[in-house]
Amino acid sequence: MERIKNYRAAVAGPEETHESLSNGINSIADLLAPTLGPIGGHVVHERDGTRGPELLDDAATAVRRILSLGDPKVDVGAMLMRHIVWRIAGQVGDGGTTTALLTREIYLQALKMMTAGIGYRELEIGLQAATAAIRQELAEMAKPVETEDDLSVVALTVVKDRDLAATIGELSYLLGPDARVSVEKFVAPYLAREYHAGANYKAEIASFHLYTDPIRKWAIYGDSTIALVDDTLSQAAETVALIELAMKMGKKSLVIIASHIKEEALHVMVRNQTEEKKKLSILGIQLKEIGDPRRMAFHDLTTLTGANILGRNYYAYAANAKEADLGDAMRVQVDRKMMQLQPYQSRIAEMRETVDQLRARLEGLRVDDEERDDIINRLAALTGGMGVLKVGTNLKHERDIVSGLSERALTATSQAHRTGVVPGGGAAFVHARRALDTLEMDGEENVGVKVLKDSLGAPFLQIVQNAGIESPSVAALRLEEAGPDYAYDVVKKKLVNAQETGLVDVTGVQTAVLETAVSGALMALGTNTIVFHRDPTESMEP
């Protein structure tokens, strides 16, 4: 739809503002609603005149295709919903449509209350108190994930492909909640995975002359002495000093891990390796990380190897290193992209202490905190969680979609490791409403509690409606009476034990959906003025 031309810049007051917001919010919610559940439909996106339509059942991908609905008055609410849906997918990997429906329901019900005279502040207090109560109820309802199949079920809700979901479930199960998995795209139908044991860092071998296996283009050393140089190794004297120190200690191999290795220092390593009767094997590795990630990588490598960090910002240069400054490792492997390091058993206790500290910090951070990714990467390196998921399709846009869904599925399975699962298909929100029966607030604040309680059933009712089942409200009542262990299987049209049948949702995803929906609804409710620009900026990023 083309944008209305020559639309004048204008300012809308409260009444017109909420009419515009309602239209936009409804537009996106109505667009996504039919896709929810196992019997949901697709969003059809007409790309251009030369290619056929694109069928989408992923909310985040669908809303990203929308830059404008053609009417500035509708776009305001629509772009708010677009941002909310995309944000929740990025944070927890799933839940976009559920968030859209819940946001819409909370907003419209609360708007009716405001029109009837209830104050925004009272609604806000009630909604926030109710959110906290539901969040606690979901946590108490949660069951831990214990098997690879559990994680595959979680992945399937995102990727909708059983083979891909099974592979993602395996990766997540074997590598753990702090797994670092990179997704690689291939120009053909393809599905495979690789595992890299030990601590893993983005790095490269300093010279192809240092390969122990030139055909495979990698170097592998066991029982190695380790030197850590968070600096540029530029002088031959620095390399010579480290070699002589390792030989004095009676070592057979030396691995130097540095920020950068220049030609003069590298020449000494290469010359040493090419000598026929060398007394010491040597390997030079350059870390690819820069800034704080590199500094923290060196810090963690001291835990893994027992070596002290050398360099201009530390107490000693490489040329002045002492025996106590060198560490060791059971095995080191490096190629053009990655270094894998396996520590000795004696380092495990100290490593676990660092891991516990990092996990404690991670639990205290918001899901959108910028520090989360850095901590997750450090945990993945320290706990040996590193994998590669290889996916491919014939068409580029399909590869992009599958790759994006795979990354979000991995995020969701990571959440499942940490927070467990609750009954799926919207059942968890239906069951959690009971927590609001005993929540008492002051005066009109109770209206906010009632708004959330009445809104929580919206995702479940939509799933039942999409399945063509009559009387969704009756199904909700039966589900509530069955108790918190049950979900409603709309395919078989009967109540089932959620855990036994695998009809589950990730607790962390549902919690994030709840918080995001309440926050989005309150943002819309608190908006009283809209400034319409004549030529607003359009953005591909929600």
What is the spatial distance between Cα 109 and Cα 301, in angstroms, rounded to a whole number?
A: 54
What is the spatial distance between Cα 328 and Cα 147, in angstroms, rounded to a whole number?
A: 35
For residue 542, pLDDT over 70 is answered with no
Mean per-residue pLDDT for 335-346? 85
Task: Give the range with max mean pLDDT: 188-197, 198-207, 371-380, 462-471.
Answer: 462-471
- For CA atoms 128, 132, 138, 142, the dihedral sign is positive
What is the CA 156 to chain-centroid distance, rounded? 16
Pick from 168, 203, 220: nearest CA to 388 = 168
Whole-number average pLDDT of the chain = 87
Extract long-range pairs of 390-393: CB within 8 Å, 24+ residues apart. Answer: 390/183, 390/184, 390/186, 390/190, 390/191, 390/192, 390/193, 390/194, 391/164, 391/183, 391/184, 391/185, 391/186, 391/190, 391/191, 392/185, 392/186, 392/187, 392/188, 392/189, 392/190, 392/191, 393/188, 393/189
Pick from 478, 384, 467: nearest CA to 427 = 478
Task: Give the range with max mean pLDDT: 54-68, 137-151, 343-357.
Answer: 137-151
| 3-state helix, strand and coil shares in percent for the chain, rounded to the nearest 5 | 55, 20, 30
Q: Are 134 and 456 in contact (CB under 8 A)?
A: yes
Q: What is the pLDDT of residues 214-267, one digit of tens each?
A: 887 889 998 899 999 999 999 999 999 999 999 999 988 999 999 999 999 999
According to DSSP, the β-strands at 386-392 and 180-186 are parallel
Report the DSSP beta bridge partners of residue 7. Answer: none
Query: Residue 1 has what pLDDT?
Result: 35
Q: What is the pLDDT of residues 403-413, one digit of tens each?
A: 988 988 998 99
For residue 13, pLDDT over 70 is answered with no
For residue 496, pLDDT over 90 is answered with yes
Per-residue pLDDT band at 369 (split at 50, 70, 90): confident
- Cβ-in-10-Å burial (0-12, 13-18, 19+) of 501 comes to middle
For residue 276, pLDDT over 70 is answered with yes
Query: Residue 47 has what pLDDT?
Result: 62
Per-residue pLDDT band at 197 (split at 50, 70, 90): low
One-character DSSP codes across 476-505: HHHHHHH-TTEEEETTTTEEEEHHHHT-EE
Q: What letter would DSSP give residue 136? A: H
Per-residue pLDDT band at 206 (split at 50, 70, 90): very high
Domains of the chain: 10-143+422-532 (1.10.560.10), 199-351 (3.50.7.10)
> Rg of the Cα trace of the chain?
28
Query: Residue 5 has what pLDDT?
Result: 45
Residue whose structure tokens are 């592998």: 220
Query: Residue 85 has what pLDDT?
Result: 92
What is the spatial distance between Cα 94 and Cα 516, in angstroms, rounded to a whole number?
A: 12
Task: Give the range with max mean pLDDT: 86-100, 360-374, 505-519, 528-542.
Answer: 505-519
Q: What is the pLDDT of residues 24-82, one digit of tens each?
A: 999 999 999 998 988 876 667 666 655 667 666 677 778 888 877 777 778 888 889 99
For residue 108, pLDDT over 50 is answered with yes
Residue 151 structure tokens: 């994680």
Helix (H) or strand (E) segment spanning residue 6: none
Going from the C-alpha of 253 to that of each of 167, 212, 272, 279, the distances in angstroms are 38, 12, 11, 9
Query: Residue 179 has what pLDDT?
Result: 67
